[in-house]
Amino acid sequence: MFNDFSKFKFEVIDITITGAPDIVINMNGITFTAKLLETLGNPDYVRPLIDPHNKAFAIQVCKETDAKSMRLRKNNPSGAYSSSCSVVRQTLRRMMKSTWKDSMRYRISGVPFPEVKAVVFDLSKARELPPVHSGKKKKSTL
């Protein structure tokens, strides 16, 4: 059997991106999930937006020539994008100051607004995640 590929009854594994259009914020950066980038149409540039009164953060698709645009490049094998943009990170930390702990990470799910090519995040709904520890990797349970 292993000498003839046609004898197998293979099924294609569905590799469709699942999950939510999330961001993860930590002390060193912000990760935009692959689902978030897909939701926005995998743009090259976005504008970071804030609404301090409503504790909201958004990213909106824009052109390279638009004022205050931020370039997105997938720099993670999962298709996500991680940014160390200190201006955005510090702004979000200030807006989350009552709940922010330097040692923790925070996941926030976004609400898509396709008509304006944006995703909005309610910073008051950030879910605290344990910190990522460097060192030995845990063994897979598979």
Report the domain count for the chain. Answer: 1
β-pair type (45-51, 81-83): unpaired
d(CA 138, CA 129) in angstroms, rounded, equals: 17
β-pair type (105-113, 45-51): unpaired
Contact 122, 106 (CB under 8 A): no
For 39-81, how does the pLDDT look when each residue is reduced to its tens digit (9 = 90+)?
999 999 999 999 999 999 999 999 999 999 998 876 666 778 8
Domain that holds residue 48: 32-129
Q: pTM for the full model?
A: 0.77
For 99-132, how does the pLDDT look when each residue is reduced to its tens digit (9 = 90+)?
888 889 999 999 999 999 999 999 999 999 988 7
Q: Residue 102: which residues within 8 A CB-CB, separation 6 or more?
A: 27
Is position 13 within any domain?
no
